[in-house]
Structure 1
Amino acid sequence: MGTETEEQPHGAAVVADGFGLKGPRGWAFRKVSFRAEPGALVAIEGPSGSGRTCLLLALTGRMKATEGHAEVGGLPLPRKMAAVRRITALGQVPGVSELDPAFTVAEHLRERALLQRRFDGSVRALLRRPAERAATSRARIDEAVKAAGLDLDALPKGERTSVRDLERLEALRLSIALALIGRPRLLAVDDTDLKLSDADRAEAWALLRSLAASGTTVLAVCSEAPEDALRITTVQDESEPEAPGAEETAATETATEETAATETATAETRATGTATEETAAESGATDATTEEGAADALAETGRA
């Protein structure tokens, strides 16, 4: 137990049956049904406002569905949301897991590795010598950066390059590298092809295909899915009028212990000059997403 082989990522199968999420102003998405095998590349496409981001967050245990059911890696949703969060990771999701433009690439990578080591490491790993722990963290960072295709030497100032100076594609690669540090079974990325040229879009999809081929299941929100991906199309549901006073609520749910632990680690890492947005997002700070349906779903939680 605890060997490096066992820690390697292996994809999580995803199954949805009549999956839906309703907020105070109506349905964010509904009647979503599909089955994806481990290591599949799943593209969630649809018009803006059709609930693509909400579906992404619901399938990764960050938002609570109100209709139907789904399973990720055999874990039922919404009943096992906390367990699903532990085997999934978010790349870029605007308003939820954004990069801090004022911080450098190195600062983002170091903090994520520190958080990963603090909360996901074994007791034996925590008792290792500082130099050994640092070497392990560096190895994880290098592995994730390589898998994400992020060439640190090609950046304007190497790993000391600020996020604000990154090109759109490089920022996407960095967000994916941060997610991969945790070696998730499922990787979720929002706005995959937003503001990318045709050439950069092709590179982005090539990257996601390589991650899926290596065994990690990939969910990617996009405006136009590639032909070789499993396409899930979201559409706005107009069968029911908007219901501002709806009793059903789609709330972002996080475990209490996860929230407390994450806040502690964030304070500690800020003191060393590093920062992360995803940690805050997964502890409940999901103020907004790129979809209008996400804001609707969060309104009744008091966090909109």
Structure 2
Amino acid sequence: MTKTTSTDAAVSVSELRKAYGANVAVDGIDLEIHRGEIFAVLGPNGAGKSTTVEILEGFRTRDAGTVRVLGVDPGAADRAWRARIGIVWQKPVESSPLRVVDILEHFATYYPRARPVAEVLDLIGLTEKARASVRSLSGGQLRRLDVGLGIIGRPELLFLDEPTTGFDPAARRHFWELIRGLAQDGTTILLTTHYLDEAEALANRVAVIASGRIVAEGDPDTLGGRADGRATVSWLEDAQRQEVTTDEPTRVVAGLVQRFPGEIPELSVHRPTLEETYLRLIAENTVEDATTETQEVAA
């Protein structure tokens, strides 16, 4: 991963705070996202994830803190700034009798340097559905159209909120390649997802939010001490599963090689997965009366 500095920050946040009455949704978040990287924000419902992202998008006000997105305070941003960002909402586009190509052509008029509609259709895999009505699309195809509307303006920063909901495995892989391609072309991407494999496959860095605070941040491979987590070596011996937790799995396996004449029965070496690390971080840092996402949206 390319090393970057604060001078190329697409998003810079310091001491961000937001409360709804007595419920504190965001409690002093510091965050920096570099230009051209894919940054994933993870957290359970009610953690403050949605509120934080909506403040960055300019759709919610903050109580305190400094926020800069593409060098601008989103709370005071103008139309020109909005043309520089793209958003793929969690809820799919509304059903419409209009054709897919018509919807894309209409949205293209909102942007000063829109992508050609044919290019967008190809990127999202809907070329063959260009003249189909939106209401005839399947759930996965509607989600692809959502992505098309998010990228048609050539955004410098793209917000993706649970983008692959409703995708089959093949469509998810195709979408991942699209996101990687956008990042390689210089688009900064902020991804929120509940799919841990998606965050691991795409993100350069990950932040975990719990109870309104960032409790861990870093490379998916090292997040929360994951790389230094103890390994569990297990095998079958005398018809019983044996297990050892160790900092030196290679030494344990070498010892087993000396004990068994051939293959070690059902040998496995397991280190903490991203999902296991995430669940541990959430369990360690979640308070019982955290604000719920419903409260955040209703406020």
Q: TM-score, normalised by structure 1?
A: 0.60
Q: Unmatched 5+ residue regions in structure 1?
A: 1-10, 122-136, 244-289, 300-304
**1:69 maps to 2:66:** yes
The equivalent residue for 2:200 is 226
The reply to whether residue 202 of structure 1 matches residue 173 of structure 2 is yes
The alignment status of 1:28 with 2:4, answered yes or no, reads no
SS of the residue corresponding to residue 200 of structure 2 reads: coil
| Residues 106-165 of structure 1, C-alpha deviations (whole Å, 9 max, x = no match) | 23112212333xxx48xxxxxxxxxxxxxxx7x62223333x332311xxxx32323343
Show the counterpart of 2:36. 39
Residue identity in the other structure for 1:31: G
| Secondary structure in 2 matching 1:106 | helix
Separation (CA, whole Å) in 1 of partners of 2:110 and 2:83? 13
Measure how far apart 1:199 and its partner are.
3.7
Amino acid at match of 2:208: T
The letter for the 2-side match of 1:22 is: A
- Please name the residue that 2:137 is paired with: 166
Q: Where does 1:229-240 land on structure 2 (aligned, <5 Å)?
A: 229=203, 230-237=205-212
Q: 1:241 to 1:291 in 2, by over 3 A?
A: closer
Q: 1:142 aligns to what?
A: 118
Q: 1:241 to 1:48 in 2, by over 3 A?
A: closer
- Tell me how far apart the structure 1 counterparts of residues 18 and 130 of structure 2 sit (CA, whole Å): 40
CA distance in 2 between counterparts of 1:86 and 1:64 reads 20
Quick check: 2:143–2:164 contact (8 Å CA) kept in 1? no
- After superposition, the C-alpha distances for 1:176-199 in whole angstroms (9 at most, x for unaligned) are 222222222111121123243444
Counterpart contact for 2:42–2:193, Cα < 8 Å: yes
C-alpha displacement at 1:38, in angstroms? 1.0
Aligned ranges 1:239-254 → 2 under 5 Å: none
CA contact (8 A) 1:30 1:67 kept: no
CA distance in 1, matches of 2:181, 2:171: 15
Taking only aligned residues, the RMSD between alpha carbons, in angstroms, comes to 3.1
Question: Is the counterpart of residue 108 in structure 1 residue 103 in structure 2?
Answer: yes
Q: How does 1:68-107 map to 2 (within 5 A)?
A: 68-80=65-77, 84-94=81-91, 98-103=92-97, 104-107=99-102
State the AA in 2 paired with 1:217: T
Amino acid of the residue matched to residue 119 of structure 2?
Answer: E
Does the aligned pair in 2 maintain the 1:28–1:293 contact within 8 Å? no
Q: Residue 90 of structure 1 aligns to which amino acid in structure 2?
A: I
CA contact (8 A) 1:89 1:180 kept: yes
**Partners of 1:208 and 1:174 in 2: CA distance:** 14
Please tell me whether Structure 1 or Structure 2 has the larger radius of gyration of its CA atoms.
2
Q: What CA distance in whole angstroms lies between the structure 2 residues aligned with 1:216 and 1:35?
A: 16
Normalised by the size of structure 2, how large is the TM-score?
0.61
Give the corresponding residue for 1:212. 183
Q: Which region of structure 1 is more displaced relative to structure 2, 74-83 or 185-194?
A: 74-83
Gaps of 5+ in 2: 1-7, 213-285
Verify the 8 A CA contact 2:124 2:147 in the aligned structure 1: no
* SS of equivalent residue, structure 1 residue 50: coil
Query: Quick check: 1:18 aligned with 2:15?
Result: yes
Task: Summarize the Cα distance change of 1:85–1:145 in structure 2 as closer, same or farther, 3 Å threshold.
Answer: same
In structure 2, distance between residues paired with 1:144 and 1:53: 27
Distance 1:110 1:84, change over 3 A: closer
User: Which structure carries more strand by proportion?
Assistant: 2
Distance change (3 Å), C-alpha of 1:67 and 1:84: farther
Compared with structure 1, are the counterparts of its residues 175 and 242 closer, same or farther at alpha carbon in structure 2 (3 Å cutoff)?
A: closer
> Does the alignment pair 1:55 with 2:52?
yes
AA aligned opposite 1:190: D
Deviates more, 1:82-91 or 1:100-109: 82-91
Paired residues, what number? 214
Secondary structure at the residue paired with 1:62?
coil
Shift of 1:12: 6.8
Distance 1:140 1:22 in 2: 42
State the one-letter code of the partner of 1:186: L
Task: Specify the code of the residue in structure 1 equivalent to 2:44.
Answer: P
